[in-house]
Structure 1
C-alpha cells in the first residue's frame, strides 16, 4: 500500500474540510458542466455505500443523498470542493427493480462520461467488503478498462468484518484485478461509518488530482 507522509494526510484533511456543495445532476451527456476542474468519480453497485463514502470524505452528513432504495442515483451528480476539484457520483448498477431499458439508459450515460471526460483523473470503484467482487461488477470493470480510465477499488463497510477479514478480501480483490490494464494496483479498505481508511483515501485523491488545499 502507498505510504503517505503526515504532511500529505494533513494537507488532504485540510482540502476535504473546505466547503463542498452540490452542483447539478445530469441525465444527459450534453448537460455536464464545463471540464474546467480536475474530477474523481465514484462508481459501484446499488447500496454499496457511495453516498455515505462521499459524505464521509467531506465530513458532511447530507451532501450526497443516501437511500435504502436501490438505484436512486440515476444521474451523474457533481459536487464542488471549494473550486479545487469535483467529486462525481455515477449511477449505481445491479438494480433489481429497474427495467432493462432504464438500466441501459443510465449505464450508457455513465459510459459516455467515462469515455469523454478529459478532466477525469481517477474512478473509485466501490465494492462491499462483505461480498467482494461479484459477477455484476465485471461489466463495470470491463467498461473502465475499455475507457482506459485509471480506477482504484475501494472496499466499503469494512467495520462489518472481523479483524483480518478485510485484508483477506483486499488481497483477493487485488489478485483478481492484477491483469486488468486500467486498474490501479492497490485496494483501499474503508469504513464510512467509523472513518477507517478515509484519511488515506483523501490523500490518494489529492495526489491523483494535484489539488492544492492551500492555494
Structure 2
C-alpha cells in the first residue's frame, strides 16, 4: 500500500482523530433536491458502486458500527443520507450505482438524484469515490469519474476492502488507479487504500477529510 503517513504531521493526524471521536448522528435522508438541508455547513460526500462498503467506511471513520446502515442487499442506499459530525461537518452518503436488482427506471432516479446533488451543492468540499481494491476501476466507475469531472467537483479515490488482498496487490492497485486518473481535471492525485474492518488507512482518510473540509 502507498505510504501516506508522511503527507500529514502527527499533530494533524491527532486533530483528525479527535474530530471524528466527537458525536456523529444521522440527520436525514433526502429523496429530492428541495428536501436537502440548507448548505450552511461544509460537506464531504461518499460515492461508489453498490456494496463497495460506503456504510462500513463511514461507520469506521466515526468509530460506530450502527451509524450508517450497512446491508448485503445491493442498492439499499436510495436517498442522499446526511450525518452530522461534531455539529460542524456533514458526511453525505450518496446512492450507489451499478445495481443488479432494481429496475432501470429506479436506478436512473437515484443516480440522477446523486448527480443533481453533485452539480448544485455549493458547500460540497470533496467527494470520496470508493473503489473495491480487489477489482480496481470498472466501466461503471469510469462513468462516475466522467460525471464528477463534468460537475467540476473535487474528488479523491479511496480503495476499500484492502485487507482482502495482499499488501503488494493493494500497492499495485493504488499505482494503477493513480495513473488512470492522472489527467482527469477534478481528481485529487492521492489514492488511499483502506479497510473499514482492520482500520487500515482510516487515520489518513480522516486527515484528508478535515483538510478538505476547511481548506
Q: Does TM, scored on the shorter chain, surpass 0.5? A: yes
Give the match's secondary structure for 2:177.
Answer: helix
Shift of 1:164: 1.1
In structure 2, the residue matched to 1:128 is 132
In structure 2, the residue matched to 1:45 is 49
In structure 2, the residue matched to 1:71 is 75
Select the residue among 19, 33, 41 that pairs with 1:29: 33
Select the residue among 151, 155, 164 that pairs with 1:151: 155
User: C-alpha separation between the residues in 2 aligned to 1:109 and 1:3?
Assistant: 34
In structure 2, the residue matched to 1:10 is 14
Give the match's secondary structure for 1:184.
Answer: coil
- Are 2:191 and 1:209 aligned? no
TM-score of the pair, normalised by structure 1: 0.97
Aligned positions of 1:98-109 closer than 5 A: 98-109=102-113
In structure 1, the residue matched to 2:122 is 118
User: C-alpha separation between the residues in 1 aligned to 2:139 and 2:85?
Assistant: 34
Aligned positions of 1:138-177 closer than 5 A: 138-177=142-181
User: C-alpha separation between the residues in 1 aligned to 2:18 and 2:43?
Assistant: 18
Shift of 1:163: 2.3
Give the match's secondary structure for 2:68.
Answer: coil
Gaps of 5+ in 2: none
Give the match's secondary structure for 1:185.
Answer: coil
Shift of 1:82: 1.7
Paired positions, count:
211
TM-score of the pair, normalised by structure 2: 0.97
User: C-alpha separation between the residues in 2 aligned to 1:197 and 1:11?
Assistant: 16
User: C-alpha separation between the residues in 2 aligned to 1:148 and 1:185?
Assistant: 15
User: C-alpha separation between the residues in 1 aligned to 2:87 and 2:210?
Assistant: 14
1:190-211 per-residue CA deviation (whole Å, 9 max, x = no partner) reads: 0000000000000000000129
- Are 2:183 and 1:179 aligned? yes
Shift of 1:149: 0.1
In structure 1, the residue matched to 2:141 is 137
